[in-house]
Amino acid sequence: MAGPARNDGFVPGRYLIDAYGAGGFRFGEMSHKGSLLMLPSGVRAWSAVDRQPWTGNQFTEIFAEAGDIELLLLGTGVDLRPLPEALRWRFRELKIGIELMTTPPAARTYNILLAEGRKVAAALICVD
């Protein structure tokens, strides 16, 4: 079981997503309201919200762990939203594959790939 989140919203370790919806997520016997980054180093609160324009600043933590990530699953909330071409190129430069899908299938796919031992990360916008 994970320890409590640090003040910066970080919980070290890799966790399957137990549930999503109602504006948050459950993982590792914990719950979180809001969006999440599921990274190789651990789970982080993520400031991204549904229908907000994408910016490079939203992906700083992912870029920092690029060497440990082969695939990023980007859960775009309730609606599928494209990623600007400049950001797609940034992911290509870092050799991170990226798959965009709404948050529910992104969370389910993350669990499958994590269980398979893949070098996967997820950026998940919370849904109601």
Return the CATH number at 104: 3.40.1230.10
Report which residue type is found at 89. W
- Domain region containing 47: 12-124
Q: What is the mean pLDDT of residues 19-24?
A: 96
Residue 92 is assigned to a structural domain of this protein: yes
Report phi then psi at 111, rounded to 5.
-60, -45
Instruction: Identify whether 3 is part of a domain.
Output: no
Q: What is the count of structural domains for the chain?
A: 1
Query: Which tokens in the block code for residue 62?
Result: 């992912």
Distance between CA atoms of 93 and 39, rounded to whole angstroms? Answer: 19
Q: How confident is the model at residue 51 (pLDDT cuts 50, 70, 90)?
A: confident
**Residue 69, domain member (yes or no):** yes
Residue 80 lies in a domain: yes
For the chain, the average pLDDT equals: 92
Which pLDDT tens digit goes with each residue over 53-89? 898 899 999 999 999 999 999 999 999 999 999 999 9
- Residue 20 pLDDT greater than 50, yes or no: yes
Is 7 inside any structural domain?
no
**According to the model, what pLDDT value does residue 8 have?**
63
Q: Does residue 4 sit within a domain? A: no
The phi-psi region of residue 106 (left if phi > 0; otherwise alpha if psi is between -120 and 50; otherwise beta) is alpha
